[in-house]
Amino acid sequence: MNTDSAATAPPDPRRWWVLGVISLAQFVIAIDSSVVNVMGPRLQEAIGLSTTGLQWVMNIYVLLFGGLLLLGGRLADVVGRRVVFLAGLGLFTLASLGAGLADSESALLTARALQGIGAAALSPASLSILVTVFPDAKERAKAFGVWGAVIGIGASIGTILGGAIVNADWRWAFWINVPVGVLIAVGAVALIKVPRPTGARPPADLAGAVTATGGLLLLVYGIVTSSEHGWGDWRTYGSLIVAAVLLVSFVLVEQRSAAPLVPLRLFRSRSVVAGSLGEFLTAAMMMPIFFLLPLWMQGVLDYSPLQTGLAYLPVSIALMTLAPVASQMIGKTGPRSMYLLGTVALAACVFLLTRMPVHSGYWSFLLPVTALFGIGLVCCLIPTPVVGTSEATDEDAGTTSALLNASTQIGAAFGIAVAVTVLNNRTAAQVADGATPNVALVHGLQAAFLVLFVFLALSVLNGLFGFRRGVITQPTESADPLPTTEPLPPTPVQPATPHRQNEKVG
């Protein structure tokens, strides 16, 4: 593609409407990832879901979502971002209809699996569209502010919406995705006009696709099942060992591939590595809090599903009110300062959680915890994609976006698995020592949250040494039309193949 013309081309006048469409798609995915947490008892009553089946309602979704993200991102680069976006959206919407109609465990798990596959195409395509329609650095920072806020708001509102809907009919928690999906599809067809690849298609990297997808699937499988079987179970360590072998094989395959699924030069980019680590560590702290805190609210404080959801309202308020301010400030302070500030806020939140009382009022404990949680999420979720995509080109925007999304899914699965393992072990030990169930659960939760300080420490190191100093700026003399960071010059990236994204729109 002609990068000079790309750099001077006027911005797409529809770009803010496009942001609205893809943000709504990400919002649906974020809600769907959290709404299941509050519908467990109703699912068991309605369709006779077993305890193992209940765990796999979430696990099968996370497994396929995380395992197929790289393939989905690469397809967005090769086939076309709008095409993959619409295909993923269509599958996700139809699978949501099927989940609501399910009358057996197998039917529900099949529908959830298809939702995960659809999300694995939809999510990286959405993020790569955002990268390409916002070439201006300051505007992209604002767009990522909206994007980060949408993820956090979706996760927190998912519990509120789930609690309200589940009290009426759990099926509507899935069916609500159908009209929203149709609305998103209409908006996407009308507004998204990103360039579609033209010219000779690169040869298929079948070996890379098989080893990467198989490795990621087994990696996520080993992580999510560790909380059920334990880290010492053969299914857990066997999956992780085979995953490691496949991922090493993937690297060897990519070194020799003429058209790699994931160009290994991306891993030499400081921005990609720092952004991916930021996504991994933030998710590893965020999801255990979303997942475990309701156990205390419902199991000890006797909150209803709706009350549990409403308790997260300060998180949503913080995200909605602070995200616009944060997206403005990131252009002045740079991503490093904001990311470190968010890590400090999350550390304060986790500190309070490690001192969780057996009984507590909302105002004295839950309000400060959720407020700090919301502030931390704003300051961590916004700068990480800005940094991670700051050196992306049109040719690898989808792949880079998939790496960031895969890091989020794997981090979430890993954080929950580690926290649940600690929770189960500590709770069992407390019961053996004669503690009451409530006291044992609280002590187990305190120990589980204490583990999150490991992720917090790594997050501080990532911010200090991974995120560059300075602010995001628009390069003026670079062949790369996308933003980089100061004071280092942009890394020159050459396309891996003659495949181009110009001329045709799709």
pLDDT in tens, 216-248: 888 888 887 776 777 888 888 899 999 999 999
**In the predicted model, what is the mean pLDDT of residues 338-355?**
96
Query: Mean pLDDT in the chain?
Result: 80
Q: Confidence band (pLDDT; 50, 70, 90) for 2?
A: very low
Query: So what's the pLDDT on residue 199?
Result: 55
DSSP 320-359: HHHHHHHHHHHHHH-HHHHHHHHHHHHHHHHHHHTT--SS
Residue with more model confidence, 497 or 54: 54
**In the predicted model, what is the mean pLDDT of residues 73-100?**
90
Nearest to 104 by CA among 137, 138, 67, 57: 57
Q: Where are the domains of the chain?
A: 13-202+259-475+482-489
**In the predicted model, what is the mean pLDDT of residues 487-505?**
34
Tell me the CATH number for domain 13-202+259-475+482-489.
Answer: 1.20.1250.20
Query: So what's the pLDDT on residue 166?
Result: 67
Q: Confidence band (pLDDT; 50, 70, 90) for 325?
A: confident
Query: So what's the pLDDT on residue 232?
Result: 83
Query: So what's the pLDDT on residue 219?
Result: 87
Q: What is the DSSP letter of 264?
A: G
Query: So what's the pLDDT on residue 233?
Result: 86
Nearest to 326 by CA among 388, 275, 377: 377
pLDDT digits (tens, 9 = 90+) for 356-368: 998 888 899 999 9
Q: Rounded to whole angstroms, how far apart are CA atoms 77 and 392?
A: 12
CB 423 within 8 A of CB 447: yes
**In the predicted model, what is the mean pLDDT of residues 119-139?**
85
Reply yes or no on whether the pLDDT at 152 is more than 90: no
pLDDT digits (tens, 9 = 90+) for 421-473: 899 889 989 999 988 999 999 999 999 999 999 999 999 999 999 887 655 55
Amino acid at 342: G
Q: What is the DSSP letter of 38?
A: G
pLDDT digits (tens, 9 = 90+) for 170-217: 888 888 889 999 999 999 998 888 666 555 555 556 788 788 888 888
Q: Rounded to whole angstroms, how far apart are CA atoms 370 and 376?
A: 10
Residue with more model confidence, 217 or 491: 217
- Who's near 106: CB < 8 A, 6+ residues apart? none
Residue with more model confidence, 381 or 31: 381
